[in-house]
Structure 1
Amino acid sequence: MTTTDVEAALREVLAVTEERYVANNPRSERRFRQAATVMPGGNTRTSLYYSPFPVTFVAGEGQFLTDLDGHRYVDLLGEYSAGLYGHSDPAVLTAVRKVLDEGLSYGGPNQYEVELAQEITHRFPSVELVRFTNSGTEANLFAIGAARAVTGRSKVLAFESGYHGGVLSFRGEAPLNAPYPYVVCEYNDVPGTLAAIREHRDDLAAVILEPMLGGGGAVPATAEFVRAIREATTRYDVVFILDEVMTSRLAPGGLQERLDVVPDLTTFGKYIGAGFGFGAFGGSRRLMERFDPSVPGSLSHPGTFNNNTVTMAAGLVGLRDVFTPEAARELNARGDRLRDRLNSLFIEYDVAVRATGVGSIMGLHFQRSPIVSGRHIAPAPDKRTLLHLELMLRGFYIARRGYLALPLPVTDTDVASFVDAVADVVATHRRLLR
């Protein structure tokens, strides 16, 4: 088949799959149409939209989700890595119920925040002092703000396909980005990045890096790349911010532990809140002590819900009692096994598909060629749509872009069933994926 023939056949197959999906989800479709009358696109979080419409969920338990039409899915998206504990973890629920009885908003310090801070500084040795926020976006904004304030410089070096929050996105055009003067380099490009740091060193406040691109395709940074940035930022007194909002779950001490690198600041979010809004930034005492309000001229860090009792209590129990170092190792080993099985399957069927990532986070891409940066990812929107809808029709929930983040309750049996489902899709549409 020529490329034109494949594209035409793919569109025909996709149209049939979409018809099956629509017929299978009439209640979700009605709810989507209703939502569109009061929210633009029927949506209040862009990443949750996919065509022809997203299903509406009504319940979650363990590793399962149930939608408005009564379909049950194995949740392999895990709330884009924030839902690490699955749905309604018993230990987290117990902690939350206790807080509900104690009271929610005190307008002052509470009994949980110090213990959560201690747990974070224990798990991540580069973090000597930590401050809480309400999201990873806020954490990154405060980390960058701190770097600019402390260094007296203005520029921020970031990387193509990087994502540090809704107003710090480097995946294509981003008109809503915070108006910092950016220097943008290619991910995993050591010579280009070092040259940019040297060129802008006199006005470069910070380098911000995801040690694995999350929303940008689950592309890991090489150890050489990360260490080269650490050495250069140290040499030129530039603040090195490691965005571990997603990746801190990939080892007991995050990817910084696996890469053996010590950043100046680390940002956190997502899963540490155990399902509730959470963010944090922390690092060296030299930088973080600038937020000490007892010292004249300190940096201000407001935020009404920074230490809200529900997040503090749930986050503490989750990090201390549920996502133990051993649990982290086991979950990420399961993810590595899944990735290996998928890649073996794609080779067996001789299709242009590959799985990338580290541990429990991965991305599925429609190509045979290696992926080192976002520039190397083939778009393939129709193939992504086809795989996504076919997997949903088989009872598995992942992101439209091919992103997966395994929750803790997912079992080896769930993983095996997912591999079987992917094999079924690949076998059915093999001629379109070669």
Structure 2
Amino acid sequence: MNYPETSPESARLYERAKVVMPGGNTRTTVYFDPFPIYAVRGEGCRMWDADGHVYIDCINNFTSMIHGYAAPSINAVVSAQLALGTAFGAPTSSEIDLAELLVARLPAVDQVRFTNSGTEAVMMAIKAARAFTGRPKIAKIEGAYHGSYDYAEVSLDSRPDNWSKTPASIAYAKGTPQGVLDDVLVLPLNDIATAQAVIAEHGPQLAAILIDPLPNRAGLIPARRDYLAALSKAARAAGVLLIFDEVISFRLGYSGAQGLWEIAPDLTVLGKIIGGGFPVGAVGGRADLMSVFDPTRGKPALPHGGTFSANPVTMRAGLASMQALTPAVFERLDRIGETVRQGINASFARHGLAGVCVGLGSLFRVHFTDQPVTDYRSVYPNAEARRKLGKFHIALLNRGILAAGYGLFALSTPMTDSDVTEIIKAIDEALAEVAA
């Protein structure tokens, strides 16, 4: 393959798309210049594009397809449900089944509420924290992505030209009201002193602290255990709720990141892998907190609905997906993830190229930097790093590896040891091309 010359059908589809969709796409994340490749089929850990090229898929629809494509156990339950109906104006037992599994796996969660996306789940968690505490403000980590809710987007892509010693609240999208920025405080990752100072100053107005313990867009740098412990302690002392966004990090282990870090958040946000390849989100937490959604005594403190929330196709697919994720499966994902990370870092050294691979479990990101990696600012890519990332991405495509253009990789359960070897070899060759 020699993209873009060998992708004429994807180019043709993109020309059609530009006529009827702004910029030719519905998801900014799938676009890259001069045009994205168009998928037509997936099976196991591989994806076929419109021009007949085959890729080992190392992004898996941005971490959601942990079992790859067309997993027989998931296909079977989806096919059975399709014959019975896809969505009803009534509850089904399927949502109880999945909720019971999630509650069993997450000791900090007593009850669950389903949504249609991670964005919606984050939004409802923030609104739940406000409804429960009666406070308006939230705090979040600089550079962390939590979906498309205005408040959760603040300081998602702050830049060196607007950085200050204590991170400021910077609008992500044009038109963000000043009132949104006023109600969001921004914390640096892994900086205990700053977090404690912000909580101490604003505690009486602070409803919640929103944190992803392995924030992808902030570099996929793990939050330190002592940082999370200090954050949790300071929050509880101030009556502030701790919200864990585990939309992505739930794929790190049987009980998610909170199980690995042994932290009990007040509210947990889930998505991606719990839907088995279908749109999904969920917010869960202690029963007293979740009571803000309870309609049994009249209008709840936080009314919530959704036409397709907890639809039985998603619930059945999600249950099958989660049941297949046993402790042994997570151990294997940990092993192959560590093998690839070690292989990539060895390649950086072998080619004399400044860079590092970071992550945990089945997730990792490549950064072209020679600086210590500690937080969002430490891995913010300058123009040269962006150039290298772009070259790296295309070099991988030409070797049959699909990854995110910004250096994110996510492994899946169908990957064999020979697939892992092939991934490491392709990354090594791509890095050699970048270094040349």
TM-score (norm 1): 0.92
State the Cα distance separating 1:378 from its structure 2 match. Answer: 4.1
- Distance across 1 between alignment mates of 2:92 and 2:299: 26
Residue of structure 1 in register with 2:140 after alignment: 158
Alignment of 1:16-165 (within 5 A): 20-165=2-147
Indicate the SS of the match to 1:193: helix
Q: Report Cα offsets for 1:25-67 as digits up to 9, x if no partner.
A: 1111111111001101100011011111100111111110000
State the Cα distance separating 1:351 from its structure 2 match. Answer: 1.1
- Distance across 2 between alignment mates of 1:406 and 1:425: 18
The 8 Å contact of residues 252 and 329 in structure 1, kept in 2 or not, is answered as: no
Number of aligned residues:
412
The 8 Å contact of residues 366 and 378 in structure 1, kept in 2 or not, is answered as: no
- Distance across 2 between alignment mates of 1:402 and 1:78: 13
State the Cα distance separating 1:101 from its structure 2 match. Answer: 0.8
Tell me if 1:392 matches 2:397: yes
Tell me if 1:226 matches 2:228: yes
Residue of structure 2 in register with 1:237 after alignment: 239
Indicate the SS of the match to 1:148: helix
Alignment of 1:22-421 (within 5 A): 22-167=4-149, 168-169=152-153, 170-172=155-157, 173-175=171-173, 179=180, 181-298=183-300, 299-320=302-323, 322-379=324-381, 380-421=385-426
- Distance across 2 between alignment mates of 1:283 and 1:423: 43
One-letter amino acid of the counterpart of residue 233, structure 2? E
Residue of structure 2 in register with 1:424 after alignment: 429
Moved more, 412-421 or 246-255: 412-421
The 8 Å contact of residues 136 and 268 in structure 1, kept in 2 or not, is answered as: yes
Q: Report Cα offsets for 1:251-277 as digits up to 9, x if no partner.
A: 110111111100000000011101100
Indicate the SS of the match to 1:37: helix
- Distance across 2 between alignment mates of 1:279 and 1:240: 18
Moved over 4 A (4+): none
State the Cα distance separating 1:430 from its structure 2 match. Answer: 2.3
Indicate the SS of the match to 1:127: coil
Q: Report Cα offsets for 1:315-365 as digits up to 9, x if no partner.
A: 111112x11222122112211221112112212222112101111111100
One-letter amino acid of the counterpart of residue 156, structure 2? R
One-letter amino acid of the counterpart of residue 144, structure 1? I
State the Cα distance separating 1:369 from its structure 2 match. Answer: 1.9
Indicate the SS of the match to 1:21: coil
Q: Report Cα offsets for 1:74-93 as digits up to 9, x if no partner.
A: 00111111111100100000
One-letter amino acid of the counterpart of residue 342, structure 2? D
The 8 Å contact of residues 133 and 303 in structure 1, kept in 2 or not, is answered as: yes
- Distance across 2 between alignment mates of 1:273 and 1:428: 38
Flag the 1:350–1:237 CA change in 2: closer, same or farther, 3 A. same
One-letter amino acid of the counterpart of residue 174, structure 1? Y
- Distance across 1 between alignment mates of 2:434 and 2:395: 10
Residue of structure 2 in register with 1:11 after alignment: none
- Distance across 2 between alignment mates of 1:250 and 1:270: 13
State the Cα distance separating 1:297 from its structure 2 match. Answer: 4.7
The 8 Å contact of residues 188 and 372 in structure 1, kept in 2 or not, is answered as: yes
Indicate the SS of the match to 2:78: helix
State the Cα distance separating 1:190 from its structure 2 match. Answer: 1.0
- Distance across 2 between alignment mates of 1:289 and 1:110: 21
Flag the 1:184–1:429 CA change in 2: closer, same or farther, 3 A. closer
Indicate the SS of the match to 1:112: helix
One-letter amino acid of the counterpart of residue 368, structure 2? F
Q: Percent identity?
A: 37
The 8 Å contact of residues 391 and 434 in structure 2, kept in 1 or not, is answered as: no
Q: Once superposed, what is the RMSD of the aligned Cα atoms?
A: 1.4
The 8 Å contact of residues 131 and 292 in structure 2, kept in 1 or not, is answered as: no
Residue of structure 2 in register with 1:10 after alignment: none
**Which runs of 5 or more residues in structure 1 are unaligned?**
1-16
- Distance across 2 between alignment mates of 1:333 and 1:252: 15
Residue of structure 2 in register with 1:5 after alignment: none
The 8 Å contact of residues 115 and 316 in structure 1, kept in 2 or not, is answered as: yes
Q: Report Cα offsets for 1:86-145 as digits up to 9, x if no partner.
A: 001000000000001111122111121111000000111111111100011111101100
- Distance across 2 between alignment mates of 1:428 and 1:110: 53
The 8 Å contact of residues 338 and 415 in structure 1, kept in 2 or not, is answered as: yes
One-letter amino acid of the counterpart of residue 36, structure 2? P
- Distance across 2 between alignment mates of 1:247 and 1:68: 31
